Amino acid sequence: MKKFLINFAACILILTCAFSAPLSQTALIPETGFLMDFYLDEPENLSTLPEFVNEVATSGNSDQIAGVFLTDILELPVVQQPSDNPGYVSSTPDTATQFRMVNQFGSIALLAHNNLAGGKFFDLKIDQILSLVFGDGNVAYYRIVKVLEYQALAPTSPYSSFIDMHDPEGKVISVTDLFYGIYGKANQLILQTCIEAAGQSSWGRLFVIAIPVEPFPPASSM
Protein backbone atom coordinates (compact mmCIF):
# COMPACT_ATOMS: atom_id res chain seq x y z
CA MET A 1 0.00 0.00 0.00
CA LYS A 2 2.82 2.41 0.87
CA LYS A 3 4.49 1.73 -2.49
CA PHE A 4 1.21 2.47 -4.26
CA LEU A 5 0.81 5.75 -2.35
CA ILE A 6 4.29 6.90 -3.33
CA ASN A 7 3.79 5.98 -6.99
CA PHE A 8 0.43 7.67 -7.10
CA ALA A 9 1.76 10.69 -5.23
CA ALA A 10 4.16 11.22 -8.10
CA CYS A 11 1.40 10.79 -10.64
CA ILE A 12 -1.16 13.13 -9.09
CA LEU A 13 1.25 16.06 -9.05
CA ILE A 14 1.10 16.26 -12.84
CA LEU A 15 -2.43 15.09 -13.61
CA THR A 16 -4.08 18.51 -13.37
CA CYS A 17 -2.00 20.02 -16.16
CA ALA A 18 -3.68 20.96 -19.39
CA PHE A 19 -1.34 18.69 -21.36
CA SER A 20 0.87 15.87 -20.11
CA ALA A 21 3.29 13.44 -21.68
CA PRO A 22 2.36 9.73 -21.56
CA LEU A 23 3.37 8.00 -18.35
CA SER A 24 4.50 4.46 -17.70
CA GLN A 25 1.91 1.71 -17.50
CA THR A 26 2.20 1.58 -13.72
CA ALA A 27 1.14 5.23 -13.32
CA LEU A 28 -2.45 6.47 -13.21
CA ILE A 29 -3.26 9.56 -15.23
CA PRO A 30 -6.34 10.64 -17.22
CA GLU A 31 -6.28 11.34 -20.93
CA THR A 32 -5.81 15.12 -21.16
CA GLY A 33 -4.60 15.82 -24.69
CA PHE A 34 -8.05 16.70 -26.00
CA LEU A 35 -8.29 19.54 -23.52
CA MET A 36 -6.33 21.71 -25.95
CA ASP A 37 -9.69 22.54 -27.54
CA PHE A 38 -11.19 23.80 -24.28
CA TYR A 39 -10.68 27.14 -22.62
CA LEU A 40 -12.09 28.75 -19.52
CA ASP A 41 -15.07 31.02 -20.12
CA GLU A 42 -16.28 33.54 -17.58
CA PRO A 43 -19.92 32.93 -16.59
CA GLU A 44 -22.27 35.64 -17.75
CA ASN A 45 -24.25 35.78 -14.52
CA LEU A 46 -22.52 35.04 -11.22
CA SER A 47 -24.67 33.52 -8.48
CA THR A 48 -25.09 34.38 -4.86
CA LEU A 49 -24.19 31.68 -2.34
CA PRO A 50 -27.86 30.72 -1.64
CA GLU A 51 -28.49 30.41 -5.38
CA PHE A 52 -25.39 28.29 -5.82
CA VAL A 53 -26.37 26.01 -2.93
CA ASN A 54 -29.80 25.45 -4.46
CA GLU A 55 -28.18 24.62 -7.77
CA VAL A 56 -25.61 22.06 -6.64
CA ALA A 57 -26.97 20.56 -3.41
CA THR A 58 -29.30 18.04 -4.99
CA SER A 59 -28.13 14.66 -3.68
CA GLY A 60 -29.20 15.08 -0.06
CA ASN A 61 -25.93 13.39 0.95
CA SER A 62 -24.37 15.18 3.91
CA ASP A 63 -20.99 13.52 3.27
CA GLN A 64 -20.71 14.43 -0.41
CA ILE A 65 -18.93 17.59 -1.56
CA ALA A 66 -21.23 19.28 -4.07
CA GLY A 67 -19.52 22.59 -4.81
CA VAL A 68 -17.06 25.31 -3.85
CA PHE A 69 -17.95 29.01 -3.94
CA LEU A 70 -16.35 32.43 -3.59
CA THR A 71 -18.32 35.51 -4.62
CA ASP A 72 -17.36 36.79 -8.08
CA ILE A 73 -14.51 34.26 -8.41
CA LEU A 74 -15.54 30.63 -7.93
CA GLU A 75 -18.80 28.78 -8.33
CA LEU A 76 -17.71 25.29 -9.22
CA PRO A 77 -19.79 22.14 -8.93
CA VAL A 78 -17.67 19.25 -7.64
CA VAL A 79 -17.76 15.79 -9.18
CA GLN A 80 -16.40 12.58 -7.71
CA GLN A 81 -13.72 10.32 -9.11
CA PRO A 82 -14.87 6.86 -10.19
CA SER A 83 -13.92 4.28 -7.57
CA ASP A 84 -11.72 2.47 -10.10
CA ASN A 85 -10.00 5.58 -11.50
CA PRO A 86 -8.14 7.59 -8.83
CA GLY A 87 -6.42 9.66 -11.54
CA TYR A 88 -9.65 11.02 -13.03
CA VAL A 89 -10.03 14.79 -13.45
CA SER A 90 -13.16 16.19 -15.08
CA SER A 91 -12.82 17.77 -18.52
CA THR A 92 -16.07 19.71 -18.03
CA PRO A 93 -15.49 23.49 -17.90
CA ASP A 94 -16.27 25.23 -14.59
CA THR A 95 -16.11 21.95 -12.66
CA ALA A 96 -13.73 20.66 -9.99
CA THR A 97 -12.99 17.03 -9.11
CA GLN A 98 -12.58 15.74 -5.57
CA PHE A 99 -9.31 13.85 -5.12
CA ARG A 100 -10.69 10.76 -3.40
CA MET A 101 -7.34 9.48 -2.14
CA VAL A 102 -6.82 12.47 0.17
CA ASN A 103 -9.90 11.59 2.22
CA GLN A 104 -7.85 9.10 4.26
CA PHE A 105 -5.76 11.97 5.65
CA GLY A 106 -8.84 13.83 6.91
CA SER A 107 -8.64 16.63 4.36
CA ILE A 108 -10.48 17.60 1.18
CA ALA A 109 -8.67 18.19 -2.11
CA LEU A 110 -10.13 19.58 -5.33
CA LEU A 111 -8.43 19.24 -8.71
CA ALA A 112 -8.94 21.13 -11.96
CA HIS A 113 -7.09 21.56 -15.23
CA ASN A 114 -5.28 24.87 -15.54
CA ASN A 115 -6.97 25.75 -18.85
CA LEU A 116 -10.41 25.06 -17.37
CA ALA A 117 -11.65 25.73 -13.82
CA GLY A 118 -8.10 25.57 -12.44
CA GLY A 119 -7.39 28.89 -14.13
CA LYS A 120 -9.57 30.54 -11.49
CA PHE A 121 -7.39 29.21 -8.67
CA PHE A 122 -4.82 31.86 -9.56
CA ASP A 123 -7.29 34.58 -8.48
CA LEU A 124 -7.46 33.24 -4.93
CA LYS A 125 -5.75 35.19 -2.14
CA ILE A 126 -4.83 34.66 1.49
CA ASP A 127 -7.67 35.42 3.97
CA GLN A 128 -10.44 34.94 1.42
CA ILE A 129 -13.27 32.70 2.62
CA LEU A 130 -14.23 29.68 0.53
CA SER A 131 -17.69 28.16 0.97
CA LEU A 132 -17.76 24.38 0.66
CA VAL A 133 -21.24 23.09 -0.14
CA PHE A 134 -22.42 19.60 0.77
CA GLY A 135 -25.07 17.51 -0.94
CA ASP A 136 -27.64 18.20 1.78
CA GLY A 137 -27.27 21.98 1.47
CA ASN A 138 -25.03 22.50 4.48
CA VAL A 139 -22.09 24.86 4.01
CA ALA A 140 -18.65 24.81 5.65
CA TYR A 141 -16.31 27.79 5.47
CA TYR A 142 -12.56 27.75 4.93
CA ARG A 143 -10.09 30.63 5.13
CA ILE A 144 -7.19 30.59 2.69
CA VAL A 145 -3.93 30.57 4.64
CA LYS A 146 -1.33 29.59 2.03
CA VAL A 147 -0.79 29.84 -1.70
CA LEU A 148 2.14 27.61 -2.63
CA GLU A 149 3.95 27.47 -5.97
CA TYR A 150 6.50 24.90 -7.04
CA GLN A 151 8.62 24.51 -10.14
CA ALA A 152 8.85 20.97 -11.47
CA LEU A 153 12.44 20.20 -12.48
CA ALA A 154 11.17 17.59 -14.93
CA PRO A 155 7.73 19.00 -15.78
CA THR A 156 6.29 15.98 -17.59
CA SER A 157 7.83 13.32 -15.33
CA PRO A 158 5.73 11.78 -12.54
CA TYR A 159 8.92 11.42 -10.51
CA SER A 160 10.07 15.02 -10.85
CA SER A 161 11.69 16.82 -7.96
CA PHE A 162 10.47 20.32 -7.14
CA ILE A 163 11.71 23.70 -5.99
CA ASP A 164 9.61 26.09 -3.92
CA MET A 165 9.41 29.18 -6.13
CA HIS A 166 9.65 31.41 -3.05
CA ASP A 167 12.60 29.65 -1.40
CA PRO A 168 15.69 31.86 -1.79
CA GLU A 169 17.93 28.84 -1.21
CA GLY A 170 16.28 26.86 -4.00
CA LYS A 171 16.15 23.65 -1.99
CA VAL A 172 15.16 20.60 -4.06
CA ILE A 173 12.15 18.67 -2.71
CA SER A 174 11.35 15.08 -3.62
CA VAL A 175 7.94 14.27 -5.06
CA THR A 176 7.12 12.09 -2.04
CA ASP A 177 8.03 14.81 0.47
CA LEU A 178 5.97 17.36 -1.45
CA PHE A 179 2.95 15.06 -1.68
CA TYR A 180 2.84 14.26 2.01
CA GLY A 181 3.73 17.83 2.94
CA ILE A 182 0.69 19.10 1.02
CA TYR A 183 -1.86 16.33 1.43
CA GLY A 184 -0.77 14.40 4.53
CA LYS A 185 -2.37 16.77 7.05
CA ALA A 186 -5.89 16.77 8.49
CA ASN A 187 -8.56 19.50 8.42
CA GLN A 188 -7.50 21.27 5.26
CA LEU A 189 -9.13 22.19 1.97
CA ILE A 190 -6.61 22.06 -0.88
CA LEU A 191 -7.14 23.27 -4.44
CA GLN A 192 -4.56 22.10 -6.98
CA THR A 193 -3.79 22.95 -10.58
CA CYS A 194 -0.69 23.36 -12.76
CA ILE A 195 1.34 26.48 -13.48
CA GLU A 196 2.04 27.28 -17.12
CA ALA A 197 5.38 28.97 -17.87
CA ALA A 198 8.25 28.90 -20.36
CA GLY A 199 5.97 27.40 -22.99
CA GLN A 200 5.08 24.39 -20.83
CA SER A 201 1.59 23.90 -19.41
CA SER A 202 2.95 21.62 -16.66
CA TRP A 203 5.94 23.79 -15.71
CA GLY A 204 4.88 23.99 -12.06
CA ARG A 205 2.21 23.23 -9.48
CA LEU A 206 -0.11 25.57 -7.58
CA PHE A 207 -1.64 24.60 -4.22
CA VAL A 208 -4.18 26.82 -2.45
CA ILE A 209 -4.57 25.70 1.16
CA ALA A 210 -7.43 26.72 3.46
CA ILE A 211 -8.44 25.81 7.01
CA PRO A 212 -11.89 25.67 8.67
CA VAL A 213 -13.42 28.91 9.93
CA GLU A 214 -15.33 28.86 13.21
CA PRO A 215 -17.65 30.51 13.91
CA PHE A 216 -19.08 31.06 10.46
CA PRO A 217 -18.03 34.39 8.91
CA PRO A 218 -20.51 37.26 8.47
CA ALA A 219 -22.38 37.42 5.18
CA SER A 220 -20.25 40.36 4.04
CA SER A 221 -17.19 38.09 3.96
CA MET A 222 -18.70 35.48 1.65
| pLDDT for the residue numbered 5 | 54
Q: Which of 4-13, 36-45, 94-103, 197-206 has the lowest mean pLDDT?
A: 36-45
pLDDT in tens, 109-126: 999 999 999 999 999 999
Domain ranges of the chain: 2-22+29-34+44-221
Please, is 199 exposed, middle or buried when counting C-beta atoms within 10 Å of its C-beta (0-12, 13-18, 19+)?
Answer: exposed
- Rounded mean pLDDT of 197-203? 88
Closest CA to 206 of 86, 125, 135: 125
pLDDT in tens, 139-185: 999 999 999 999 989 887 767 889 999 999 999 998 888 888 998 99
| pLDDT for the residue numbered 155 | 81
Between 125 and 217, the higher pLDDT residue: 125
Which residues are CB-neighbours of 160 under 8 A, at least 6 positions away?
Answer: 10, 13, 14, 152, 153, 154, 175
Q: Facing residues of 143 across strands?
A: 129, 211
Which residues are CB-neighbours of 41 under 8 A, at least 6 positions away?
Answer: 93, 94
How far apart, in whole angstroms, are the C-alpha atoms of residue 15 and residue 209?
18
Identify whether the C-beta of residue 129 lies closer than 8 Å to the C-beta of residue 211: no
How far apart, in whole angstroms, are the C-alpha atoms of residue 122 and residue 66?
21
Residue 199: band (very low, low, confident or very high) from pLDDT cuts 50, 70, 90: confident
Between 141 and 219, the higher pLDDT residue: 141
The model's pTM is 0.82
Identify whether the C-beta of residue 192 lies closer than 8 Å to the C-beta of residue 178: no
Indicate whether 132 pLDDT > 80: yes
Indicate whether 191 pLDDT > 70: yes
pLDDT in tens, 11-64: 556 555 654 443 333 222 222 223 444 444 554 556 899 999 999 999 999 999
How far apart, in whole angstroms, are the C-alpha atoms of residue 19 and residue 34?
8
Q: Residue 172, SS3?
A: strand
Q: Average model confidence (pLDDT) for the chain?
A: 81
Q: What CATH fold (topology level) applies to the domain 2-22+29-34+44-221? A: Sortase; Chain: A; (2.40.260)
| pLDDT for the residue numbered 26 | 28
Q: Which of 1-5, 46-50, 78-82 has the lowest mean pLDDT?
A: 1-5
